[in-house]
Amino acid sequence: MSDDGERGKRDGMGRAERAADPVWWQSMLEAGKEVAELRDRFTVDHLLDWMHLHRPGVTTHEMRAAGPLMVEVGRLGYAVPTDRFVPSRQPLCHKTPRRVWASLICGGLDERP
């Protein structure tokens, strides 16, 4: 990717992160840690499932923040991205490919998506 393209990608991810509801952002980080403790492989859909169960009603209008959120989950040392993608289970996403992340802190169920 060109420097301009990479810069544009970073700028867009930053705008999405800043536009996300801060309560949603913090809750999703908590979801990232908990899911990574329970699953050896997961996608952002697993975090959204966790939110549905543990933080119903906490949402954001800026779902594009899910990408930067997952980057932050990685930065926090909970997981690393893999080269694998699976179709999203979220109806609004119309089976858009979701990156599979490998947990660095799994001590639980050790399930595959």
Q: What is the pLDDT of residue 82?
A: 98
Predicted confidence at residue 63, as pLDDT, reads: 80
> What is the percent of the chain with per-residue pLDDT over 70, rounded to a whole number?
77
Q: What is the pLDDT of residue 69?
A: 95
pLDDT at position 61 is 83
pLDDT band at 57 (very low <50, low <70, confident <90, very high): very high
Domain ranges of the chain: 3-103
Let me know if 4 is exposed, middle or buried by CB neighbors in 10 A (0-12, 13-18, 19+): exposed
Asked whether the beta carbons of 45 and 100 are under 8 A apart, the reply is no
Share of the chain above pLDDT 90, in %: 62
